[in-house]
Amino acid sequence: MTVAFTRTIAMVCVSAFACEALAAGDAAIGRDLAKTCVVCHGRDGIGNNPMIPNISGQSEQYLVKQLQDFRAGRREDEQMSIIARELTDAEIANLAAWYASIEFTVKEPGN
Q: How many helices (H) and strands (E) does the chain have?
A: 6, 0
Our measurement of the distance from residue 82's CA atom to the centroid of its chain's CA atoms, rounded to an integer in Å, reads 15
CB 103 within 8 A of CB 39: no
- At the second CATH level, the architecture of 25-101 is Orthogonal Bundle (1.10)
Break the chain into its structural domains and give their ranges: 25-101
* Residue of 95, 110, 103 lying closest to 38 (CA atoms): 95
pTM assigned to the model: 0.76
pLDDT in tens, the chain (111 residues): 555 544 555 455 444 454 444 568 999 999 999 999 999 999 899 999 999 999 999 999 999 999 999 999 999 999 999 999 999 999 999 999 999 999 988 889 986
